[in-house]
Structure 1
Amino acid sequence: MIALTMYVHATYMRSYRYVPPLLLLIIIMVWIYSLVPNPVMGSYAFTSALLFAVSAWLAFGFIDTEHETQLTLTALHAGSLSRLTAAKLLYAWVFTAPLVILLVLYPALLHKFDRTPSVYELAAALAGHLSLSLLGIACGVFFTARFIPRLTTSAPGLLAIVALALAGGGIHRMLPESVAFLAWLLPPVHVIMNALDAYPRTSGLSIWAACGFGIIYGVAALTIFVLLLRHKGLTAA
């Protein structure tokens, strides 16, 4: 698995598909912290949502970095397409870890907040960013070329699901009570954002519950993705 992960890393680095989303994230981060001071948890709620969108973009261009023929050979060497896909998904989440650390520590160490965040707040921010990066990956992979071959369809579709996830709270309030439960089918991005933004006005346990829900949702979605991809096999989209 280590050798497989290193191969995935080398393939992705050569693709340079990560450059635009990373540049966008850094530019927005520097821009929002160019004015000080900023609220601690409100800022972390915003940057976690930003990471969700960037992670979805990264995943969108990550799964399809290999040519169809090369993918077949790699899957044979890996033992199965499912094993290769699992390695890719794990690597994608690990790839976002430095971004999580950057978004959490950059404003804290450079004194961009109106006060010094506590250790508990830093830990909660790390958990929130990690869970939202996982949710972003879980959204982005379903719009890859193996499922939706036309970019003119997949790109707007991904943008739509990202927008709907970010607006999930408002959608839940707008829907009639009889169908309001449908809003819970969306990735729980707004749940994590609201939990971060509301601290310390609400119990800190709400943050961990929200992050746990996000991770469970993300793992379940990625499991469905692997199963669907295994059912589809190595045939072209």
Structure 2
Amino acid sequence: MKGFFIYQLLSYFRSLKWIPPVVVYFIWVFVFYTYQGVPILSSYSVTSVALVFISTWVTMGIFSLENESEKQLLFVQLSSKLRYLYGKWCICVLVITLLLIFAIFYPILIQAFKLPVKPIHFGLTLYGHFYSALSGIFVGSLFSATAFAQKKYSWLAAMLVNIIAVVSEGMIERFTILKWPLYLFPPIGKLTTYFQKGDEIVVENEGILFSLWAMIYIILSFVIATRLFLRKES
């Protein structure tokens, strides 16, 4: 498994598929923090939302490294299709974690915020970015490692899912009938609403319950993605 991990990491970097998403995200963060004295949580919510799309982009790039015959050969070498899937996910997490660290610490280093970053700000920010990253990995996996990958315009469909996830709260406010169908999408929109409430943190029961639901959602998402992957490769 260690050899597969190193092989995948080197293959990804040699393919140069990492350059577009990484460069776009770095430029986005640099440009966004051009101004000084910005609020903490609402600023971090913007970079976390952007990370959803970048994570999907990175994930789909990593899952497209091999053609079908090469993938079948890796299945044989690993003696498990799950090892292949989990190895891919580990590479996704590693690459995106580097972007996450940059997004969190860059504004602190240049002192972009108008208030000092407290531990609770840091904790919420880490949670928000990591959750956004996992959501992006799930969507990217869904449209590159399951039967949905065989559909035409799968890349655009993945980005559409992310867009709906981000704007879901606004859609629910305008069309309440969409409330239950939108539960099928990652709750990114709801997450960002908590970041928009200001830098004075008040822990509420609603926020705690939402955090629990969000984690249950992401766990179930990866379970579903795993089953869909195994079904496709059976």
Q: State if a TM-score over 0.5 links the two structures.
A: yes
Write the deviation string for residues 203-231 of structure 1: whole angstroms up to 9, x where unpaired.
27766654544343223222212211111
> Aligned residue for 2:3?
3
Shift of 1:8: 1.8
For 1:222 and 1:8, how far apart are their aligned partners in 2? 20
> Aligned residue for 1:19?
19
> Aligned residue for 1:95?
95
Aligned-residue CA RMSD in angstroms? 2.1
> Aligned residue for 1:219?
219
Shift of 1:44: 0.7
For 2:36 and 2:207, how far apart are their aligned partners in 1? 25
The answer to whether the 8 A contact 1:196-1:207 is kept is no
Q: Does the C-alpha gap of structure 1 residues 211 and 5 become closer, same or farther in structure 2, counting only changes over 3 Å?
A: farther
Shift of 1:41: 0.6
> TM-score, with normalisation over the residues of structure 1?
0.89
For 2:204 and 2:105, how far apart are their aligned partners in 1? 20
Q: Does the C-alpha gap of structure 1 residues 210 and 58 become closer, same or farther in structure 2, counting only changes over 3 Å?
A: farther
> Aligned residue for 1:44?
44
- 1:188-227 correspondence runs (5 A): 188-199=187-198, 200=200, 202-203=202-203, 210-227=210-227
Write the deviation string for residues 101-144 of structure 1: whole angstroms up to 9, x where unpaired.
11111101210111211122112101110111000110111222
Shift of 1:63: 0.9
The answer to whether the 8 A contact 2:145-2:229 is kept is no
The answer to whether the 8 A contact 1:25-1:54 is kept is yes
For 1:224 and 1:157, how far apart are their aligned partners in 2? 18
Give the counterpart letter for 1:149 in structure 2.
Answer: Q
Shift of 1:166: 0.8
Shift of 1:90: 2.4
The answer to whether the 8 A contact 1:127-1:211 is kept is no
For 1:196 and 1:172, how far apart are their aligned partners in 2? 18
Shift of 1:40: 0.5
Q: Does the C-alpha gap of structure 1 residues 196 and 159 become closer, same or farther in structure 2, counting only changes over 3 Å?
A: same
Shift of 1:13: 1.5
Give the counterpart letter for 1:77 in structure 2.
Answer: Q
> Aligned residue for 1:159?
159
- 1:3-152 correspondence runs (5 A): 3-144=3-144, 147=147, 148-149=149-150
> How many residues were matched structurally?
232
Q: Does the C-alpha gap of structure 1 residues 16 and 214 become closer, same or farther in structure 2, counting only changes over 3 Å?
A: farther
Give the counterpart letter for 1:68 in structure 2.
Answer: E
> Aligned residue for 1:185?
184
Unaligned runs of at least 5 residues, structure 2: none
Q: Does the C-alpha gap of structure 1 residues 15 and 206 become closer, same or farther in structure 2, counting only changes over 3 Å?
A: farther
For 2:15 and 2:208, how far apart are their aligned partners in 1? 36
Unaligned runs of at least 5 residues, structure 1: none
For 2:153 and 2:63, how far apart are their aligned partners in 1? 17
Q: Does the C-alpha gap of structure 1 residues 212 and 106 become closer, same or farther in structure 2, counting only changes over 3 Å?
A: farther
Give the counterpart letter for 1:197 in structure 2.
Answer: Q
For 1:207 and 1:63, how far apart are their aligned partners in 2? 34
The answer to whether the 8 A contact 2:33-2:107 is kept is yes
For 2:53 and 2:78, how far apart are their aligned partners in 1? 30
Q: Does the C-alpha gap of structure 1 residues 24 and 212 become closer, same or farther in structure 2, counting only changes over 3 Å?
A: farther
The answer to whether the 8 A contact 1:59-1:141 is kept is yes
**Percent of pairs identical after alignment?**
22
